[in-house]
């Protein structure tokens, strides 16, 4: 007997677990870590008690403080009656309070449901129904023009969520203040009742189903996956990183939370994006690694005063697209990469040449991940060098969406490879296999890193009194990469709403603002394929061609 525990202690209904014998192989191979995220923080605090873990504007917190304060929050959650395996929806921003709340939940065995502040009733209601949370963590000041606490209070009432925890709220705010949870002291017998094979958090995936799908991430695999990626791009003990996106995204969790405790790494958190402050922070804190997506990338690449900053410490900036322009603008190495919450990261490294860093999405981060490129809709591999659907299997790959067997079955090959619906081409750079992104199969839109499907939007379009029918596709955008374009068929005798009028209507129906179409194309009918199916590809091509054509002469 190996003596390694390879079975989850807290089996949750709706979660598909790795068989114990396979989990044991992963643990013995180092493809999973044999500890929990809470234990990883405790180890970092023991090794580097006085090292700064997070820097956020004028605030700093050491690893010892982070460990101590999050333990008190965990004790407070237990005092509320929350128990291991209970779920908590998170709608918090980027800051030290979010880190404290997350680690408090990890230590209490409460599973964060990692949403974003932009979600509204459509998304939160679906997630609440799916995960049945007992707590709702919210940050009062995360959105200057939206009452996040009132919204959380409303959702808690509708879905019978017992505990509302508020960070940064006024004394009279409803719910429980996060700082009040810190008044509790961990009991002498406060021990984890779960292990590395248990679920740590529920992450979310966008996609063609409209509302996000729920992805269980487990302590040991999540830690090991983050370390494999960070080792790949050159992270070392004590490195400093900078993060200006959501900490609750999968990328945010890996870069700003797990990387922090794995390497005793300091992380500069930016609650509000400001390109000048970004450059000043990189210079002041001697940042080694930066990660950016969406509209931040062109802002960094085009910052006129970049040369005034000493960026000598910056070893690598990681981005989904635009690495070449970032490297040109900063004078420091940058690389494109690919990441999917279902459990795969591809990335370039500082040691790769520019053709890999800028002309591809990189290479696999470790030998444990298997990749196949398949003909769409089949399990036949395409010849090397041809484009196929990216499918993968590995220690951190999805085994099943939470409580969604039908969606899971449609997303997997017969031998357990996850179908990404992303089209990719493999190539050789020397002896390395590198991958090139060629587009997507499904009707997803990636607006600055926020991926979403169109199903829920189209459902709401049909409720508008001036719209007979509507379809939504991605259109290219120079800043966000993609935005949503709505093709609308008007009702007889009606004029179509403007973009702003349509957004007001959709938001009133509970849709997140960032999902609202930002262009309208009026049509009498939608194009169809030769077999009579809706031809979304044709609609995407129409709008792309229209946007790329020069405006007519005046």
Q: Which fold has domain 20-272?
A: Rossmann fold (3.40.50)
Parallel, antiparallel, or unpaired: how do β-strands 363-364 and 370-374 relate?
unpaired
Distances (CA, A) of 519 to 478, 503, 553: 15, 10, 22
Identify whether the C-beta of residue 395 lies closer than 8 Å to the C-beta of residue 221.
Answer: yes
Which pLDDT score is estimated for 454?
87
Distances (CA, A) of 234 to 152, 218, 463: 40, 24, 51
Distance CA 485, CA 79 (A): 48
| First vs last C-alpha separation in the chain | 81
Nearest to 110 by CA among 86, 128, 91, 79: 86
Which pLDDT score is estimated for 537?
86
pLDDT surpassing 60 at residue 189: no
Query: Which residue is it, tokens 């990660």?
Result: 291
Which pLDDT score is estimated for 552?
65
pLDDT surpassing 80 at residue 187: no
Distance CA 204, CA 111 (A): 13
**pLDDT category, 406, cuts 50, 70, 90?**
very high
Which pLDDT score is estimated for 550?
78
Nearest to 244 by CA among 281, 217, 212: 281
Q: Between 3 and 312, where is the model more confident?
A: 312
Which pLDDT score is estimated for 440?
80
Residue 12: which H helix or E strand, with range? none
pLDDT above 90 covers a percentage of the chain that reads: 85
pLDDT surpassing 90 at residue 456: no
Distance CA 361, CA 424 (A): 9
> Mind listing the pLDDT tens digit for each residue in 278-299?
999 999 999 999 999 878 998 9
pLDDT surpassing 60 at residue 436: yes
pLDDT surpassing 50 at residue 506: yes
Interval 37-60 mean pLDDT: 98
Tokens standing for 321?
A: 């697209």
For the stretch 345-371, what's the b/e string if a residue is b when 16 or more beta carbons lie within 10 angstroms of its beta carbon? Answer: bbbbbeebeeebbbbbbbbbbbebbeb
**pLDDT category, 1, cuts 50, 70, 90?**
very low
> Mind listing the pLDDT tens digit for each residue in 360-376?
999 999 999 999 999 99
Which pLDDT score is estimated for 460?
92
Q: Does domain 445-547 have CATH number 3.30.300.30?
A: yes
pLDDT surpassing 70 at residue 209: no
Q: What three-state secondary structure class fits 90?
A: strand
| Domain boundaries, given as residue ranges, for the chain | 20-272, 445-547
Write down the mean pLDDT value for the chain.
Answer: 94
pLDDT surpassing 90 at residue 148: yes
**pLDDT category, 554, cuts 50, 70, 90?**
low
Nearest to 396 by CA among 12, 14, 29: 29
**pLDDT category, 455, cuts 50, 70, 90?**
confident
pLDDT surpassing 90 at residue 150: yes
Intrachain domains 20-272 and 445-547 with the same fold: no
Distance CA 340, CA 338 (A): 7
């Amino acid at each position: 007997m190996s003596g390694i525990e390879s079975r989850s202690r807290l089996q949750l209904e709706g979660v598909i677990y790795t068989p114990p014998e396979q989990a044991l192989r992963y643990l013995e191979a180092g493809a999973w870590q044999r500890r929990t995220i809470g234990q990883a923080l405790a180890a970092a605090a023991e090794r580097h008690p006085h090292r700064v873990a997070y820097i956020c504007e004028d605030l700093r917190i050491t690893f010892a403080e982070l460990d101590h304060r999050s333990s008190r929050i965990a004790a407070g959650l237990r005092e509320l009656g929350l128990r291991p395996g209970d779920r908590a929806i998170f709608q918090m921003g980027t800051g030290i309070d979010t880190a404290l709340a997350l680690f408090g939940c990890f230590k209490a065995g409460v599973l964060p449901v990692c949403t974003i502040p932009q979600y509204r009733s459509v998304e939160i209601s679906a997630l609440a129904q799916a995960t049945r949370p007992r707590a709702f963590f919210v940050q009062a000041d995360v959105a200057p023009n939206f009452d996040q606490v009132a919204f959380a209070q409303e959702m808690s009432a509708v879905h019978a969520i017992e505990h509302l925890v508020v960070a940064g709220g006024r004394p009279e705010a409803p719910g429980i203040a996060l700082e009040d949870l810190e008044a509790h002291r961990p009991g002498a017998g406060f021990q984890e009742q779960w292990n590395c094979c248990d679920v740590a958090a529920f992450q979310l995936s966008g996609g063609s189903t409209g509302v996000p799908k729920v992805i269980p991430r487990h302590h040991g695999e999540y830690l090991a996956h983050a370390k494999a990626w960070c080792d790949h791009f050159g992270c070392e003990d004590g490195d400093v990183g900078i993060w200006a996106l959501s900490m609750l995204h999968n990328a945010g969790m890996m870069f700003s939370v797990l990387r922090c405790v794995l390497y005793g790494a300091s992380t500069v958190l930016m609650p509000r994006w400001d390109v000048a402050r970004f450059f000043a922070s990189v210079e002041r804190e001697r940042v080694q690694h930066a990660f950016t997506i969406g509209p931040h990338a062109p802002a960094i690449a085009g910052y006129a005063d970049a040369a005034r900053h000493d960026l000598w410490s910056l070893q690598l900036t990681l981005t989904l697209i635009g690495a070449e322009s970032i490297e040109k603008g900063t004078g420091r190495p940058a690389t494109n990469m690919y990441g999917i919450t279902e459990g795969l990261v591809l990335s370039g490294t500082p040691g790769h040449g520019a053709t890999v860093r800028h002309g591809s999405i990189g290479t696999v981060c470790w030998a444990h991940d298997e990749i196949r490129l398949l003909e769409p809709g089949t399990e036949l591999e395409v010849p090397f060098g041809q484009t196929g659907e990216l499918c993968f299997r590995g220690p951190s790959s999805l085994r099943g969406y939470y409580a969604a067997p039908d969606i899971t079955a449609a997303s997997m090959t017969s031998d357990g490879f996850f179908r990404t619906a992303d089209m990719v081409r493999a190539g050789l750079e020397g002896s390395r296999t590198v991958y090139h992104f060629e587009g997507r199969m499904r009707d997803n839109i990636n607006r600055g890193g926020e991926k979403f499907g169109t199903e829920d939007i189209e459902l709401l379009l049909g409720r508008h009194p001036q719209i007979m029918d509507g379809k939504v596709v991605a259109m290219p955008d120079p800043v966000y990469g993609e935005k949503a374009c709505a093709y609308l068929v008007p009702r007889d005798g009606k004029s179509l709403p403007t973009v702003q009028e349509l957004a007001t209507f959709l938001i009133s129906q509970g849709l997140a603002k960032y999902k609202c179409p930002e262009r309208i194309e009026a049509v009498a009918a939608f194009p169809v394929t030769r077999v009579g199916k809706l031809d979304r590809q044709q609609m995407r091509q129409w709008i792309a061609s229209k946007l790329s054509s020069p405006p007519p002469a005046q």
